[in-house]
């Protein structure tokens, strides 16, 4: 039997939503072990004038807890 936990993180990128997702997952896997999936909960852009300046994603990351 395995038990999973879900944690919510946000990540930003100046390039794209896909890059923000990659950066967020890359950082999450440095701290969390056994990451199995991510659900992209929200996407948002920041604007400077009429130009997109940043892409932001909020995601829920699922990872399996180690056995005690």
pLDDT higher than threshold 80 for residue 1: no
Measured over the CA atoms of residue 46, residue 48, residue 50 and residue 55, the dihedral's sign is negative
pTM over 0.85: yes
Average pLDDT on 37-46 reads: 98
The CATH number covering residue 47 comes to: 3.30.1660.10
Residues ≥6 apart with Cβ < 8 Å to 64: 2, 3, 4, 34, 36
User: Which domain does 43 fall in, by range?
Assistant: 4-64
Is residue 63 within 8 A of residue 31, CB to CB? The reply is: no
Of residues 68, 49, 65, 59, the one with CA closest to residue 27: 59
Number of structural domains in the chain: 1
Taking the C-alpha atoms of residue 1 and residue 5, their distance in angstroms, rounded to an integer, is 14
């Amino acid at each position: 039997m395995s038990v999973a936990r879900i944690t919510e993180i946000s990540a930003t990128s100046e390039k794209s939503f896909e890059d923000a997702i990659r950066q967020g997952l890359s950082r999450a896997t440095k701290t969390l072990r056994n990451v199995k999936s991510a659900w992209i909960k929200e996407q948002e852009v920041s604007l400077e004038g009429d130009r997109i300046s940043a892409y932001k994603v909020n995601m829920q990351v699922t990872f399996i807890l180690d056995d005690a």
